[in-house]
Structure 1
């Protein structure tokens, strides 16, 4: 098979099949980020040289391009200056392996015997990790984003942050896996810090999954596997627990999922269940109490200026009040296009101010994020609302999951669909909209939006928390055939696919152990590469 995409040589799909050695998987010529522009026709073939031009014609071109000193240049100097300008303005073709991995996922799902990137070792694995992260951060690296550098520093400093911020690398190791398993609307990035307290449709705090950026229709096992590895790594880095304790925490996570899925298969009550303060386990009630904060105090302490009429300027918040009218129109469109039933506490949806939010998140660092201040009924800055607009990207699972009838390639619309499906009575301001040529999701920032402090958990609380999160995950999966696109009864299908629960649990434990060790090795390779400046440039295809 041949490549039709901009894929580095040596990583075509052909190397995955019979007789290919594992080390060939990541081999490709080293490519420096050089801008090259050669004249080619529409088919990409080199064109014949143009006829020689007069000095007058060259001067007119130099004038159009604003080349300084053109009046005193000779014909040869003008030609050289125009060539330099063309060289500097050229746009490089950035290497991508999206199509390669899509074909790999299809081959794995079809039952072909293929080699995976996860078998790579040594320098070959280093090159694979390096290219995955460059490709995943193409826009941010190309723009020399300050937050891209901050993100890479954050990934370097913490193994758990590295795991959280490298979902594409993680899922490329899983391309096409578990094709025979039932498909659900997965969260896509399950780990201990992607569960938390947030507002529901009535502005009442609830506990559930809280990050839908990577959501995608995929085998239900993909969320369990990602979550199991996330709990194992977090228990090590944040909880400072030994391997035996980490394994027990993973078992509690899986068993919590299986027990609640079995219960839901019997009772079918997933649409009526919501974890609030009055029905939450003791550990989660503690989180509700910790997250509780008066709105007026929250606004005054964290966001508003002295006049309470707009955002104050901080390292994290950059007011852009000049765009207020623009964001009023964007917000009006958001309400209309998403059929949002505006509650009384936001009636009129009058935009008071706009700010650029910096330095938030792990995977999303370097992506646009805006906060919009909406005037509350009191009109005195004590009951205002904050709507967040967060730039959306492709899901890390896109093109890697086994082919199915439920694939989604949209960005913010995919995210708002997942929130609507996973949270039956979720935040009313969740939606999607496009502006400035980009896709954004929206949601309300609330004074009680919070997640658990992992460093404060005792050994027993780690196991309890893992069990709770496993049960919550089962409930949102169970909603895939209620408010999602799945057209068959998902709970019994999952229970039938699991087989003996003890066997399934130990299979997940074994997967998590091996994957966590691989993440640890990848992190060491990444840290060395980052220190050498590997993530200030992209892989460029030279023609």
Structure 2
């Protein structure tokens, strides 16, 4: 049935009013209602995971997800996912969302991250230029159950610990720390006023102070160096890393297929015909024009003070590989005043097929508005747009600064004691995002003050880590048999993995 634009807008307003309708019950009433949910969804019910008989094949889900992506880049995506069971997990958000749809849930929804594994937390600079710790990936954000984010986070701690070779006890302690951080923080936020919750944040001083009592003098020095590196990770550094001066002009360095400057499109298209499908130069120009309109007037004024110098395709991430992504280097007052923007395609969230469509009219808008709702302070230049592609299909994009004080914990080298501290910080951060966007009183009332929920999620995490190992083996088999194509062979054993695996992709 055809629905005209005004009717569609009205329907969205009704949905929005339903989702975000003010709950006029008192905090005590909402906590009591949350506690009562334990009768229908016992805390211990979250402990179990067993694959249903009709569970979709994980490889089939990856293939399905790949249908809307650039087919020639999928082998690179599978290569990055194939490095380890942990990188496979990072790229398998759809697989886990499908599984979580068969697990218990209280019915309390939040603005969920949708991909809250621990690699998607880290440092970035707030508009006030303080370094904060927060969630840093929102491609899958949508309205969904708070439990799904908690389970994806906790399972990622377990899987990371397995990848690092930690003992069962060490992994359990780290997982329990992540869930305890979530539960205790939610109880804390439930005792605060709305504005106090909104303004709360985790800055780098809070994170480092939690680490310091477990750090040696050498480790403290290394941490300070990492923080300094994150603070310096901005457009100036991006320009230094990604560009070179040729004939007196700044140019993006070509590194196909990861980075392909627009000026190389014609020659690159001869060996990679898929590039023609991008109509890249047109996309970049149209995106920037449309994107500006989604910024506030003062930010529009700011962005107009820059002009483009060079732009390129830039493949990023693990799960994102195959979606369309570009960068544009811009110059302000002079060559010492650069700005690097990333233009990234936004597709349907993995949550939407199980939790219902987002209220946003565009997926780029869904990402940006979800990020603004969940993060303490977001990039001032976040925006979005929708454009038709050369194939006639409309595609959604969001735009942000490529680097803005970005930093992350090195999970490939982290030890067990620091994983537990880091996991707890992730749990607190996730609780803050959910407290900002959902019924913190109901969730707190449901969780309670005991560790019953923590222990249940720890059991779930162990069971799901085993499922992930089985799915990873299925994935490796699909590569070996040619069912999926990867750009290079998967590591055959730990020794080969340590010597020859590609470095983990940056999160952007």
TM-score, normalised via structure 2 length: 0.73
Structure 1 residues 421, 159: closer, same or farther in 2, change over 3 A?
Answer: same
Where do residues 24-423 of structure 1 align in structure 2 (5 Å cutoff)? Answer: 118-120=50-52, 128-140=57-69, 144-145=71-72, 147-175=73-101, 177-237=103-163, 239-268=164-193, 269-282=196-209, 283=211, 286=224, 287-293=226-232, 298-306=237-245, 307-315=248-256, 316-321=258-263, 327-339=284-296, 341-342=298-299, 346-358=303-315, 360-377=316-333, 379-380=334-335, 382-401=336-355, 410-423=362-375
Structure 1 residue runs of 4 or more that deviate by more than 4 Å after TM superposition: 294-297, 321-326, 343-347, 405-410
Within the candidate set 407, 417, 426, 1:450 is matched to 407
Alpha-carbon contact 2:352-2:358 (below 8 Å) kept = no
Name the stretch that deviates more: 447-456 or 243-252: 447-456
Structure 1 residues 331, 460: closer, same or farther in 2, change over 3 A?
Answer: same
In the alignment, what sits opposite 1:493?
Answer: 442
Distance in structure 2 (CA, Å) of the matches to 1:184 and 1:244: 32
Structure 1 residues 309, 204: closer, same or farther in 2, change over 3 A?
Answer: farther
1:465-503 deviations in Å (ceiling 9; x for gaps): 01111111111111105xxxxxxxx11110112245311
1:264-286 deviations in Å (ceiling 9; x for gaps): 11123221123334544334964
- Greater Rg over alpha carbons, structure: 1
1:343-386 deviations in Å (ceiling 9; x for gaps): 8875523222211102x200011111100112122x11x22011
The alpha carbon displacement at 1:506 in A equals 1.1
In the alignment, what sits opposite 2:451?
Answer: 502
Alpha-carbon contact 1:324-1:352 (below 8 Å) kept = no
Structure 1 residues 296, 244: closer, same or farther in 2, change over 3 A?
Answer: closer
Distance in structure 2 (CA, Å) of the matches to 1:399 and 1:236: 30
Alpha-carbon contact 2:186-2:440 (below 8 Å) kept = yes
Structure 1 residues 326, 249: closer, same or farther in 2, change over 3 A?
Answer: closer
1:37-73 deviations in Å (ceiling 9; x for gaps): xxxxxxxxxxxxxxxxxxxxxxxxxxxxxxxxxxxxx
Alpha-carbon contact 2:331-2:338 (below 8 Å) kept = yes
- Hey, which of these two has a bigger chunk of helix by percent? 2
Distance in structure 1 (CA, Å) of the matches to 2:358 and 2:238: 41
Structure 1 residues 532, 475: closer, same or farther in 2, change over 3 A?
Answer: same
Gaps of 5+ in 2: 1-40, 42-47, 213-222, 266-279, 487-508
Distance in structure 2 (CA, Å) of the matches to 1:294 and 1:213: 21
Gaps of 5+ in 1: 1-108, 110-115, 482-489, 538-543
How many aligned positions are there?
404
Distance in structure 2 (CA, Å) of the matches to 1:243 and 1:296: 42
TM-score, normalised via structure 1 length: 0.68
Structure 1 residues 264, 336: closer, same or farther in 2, change over 3 A?
Answer: same
1:315-361 deviations in Å (ceiling 9; x for gaps): 33211158667634431321213436328875523222211102x20
The alpha carbon displacement at 1:187 in A equals 0.8
Distance in structure 1 (CA, Å) of the matches to 2:358 and 2:476: 37
Alpha-carbon contact 2:157-2:171 (below 8 Å) kept = yes
The alpha carbon displacement at 1:175 in A equals 1.4
The alpha carbon displacement at 1:534 in A equals 1.1
Within the candidate set 424, 430, 454, 1:473 is matched to 430
Structure 1 residues 497, 294: closer, same or farther in 2, change over 3 A?
Answer: closer
Distance in structure 2 (CA, Å) of the matches to 1:296 and 1:186: 29
1:78-111 deviations in Å (ceiling 9; x for gaps): xxxxxxxxxxxxxxxxxxxxxxxxxxxxxxx9xx
Structure 1 residues 301, 406: closer, same or farther in 2, change over 3 A?
Answer: closer
Structure 1 residues 156, 248: closer, same or farther in 2, change over 3 A?
Answer: same
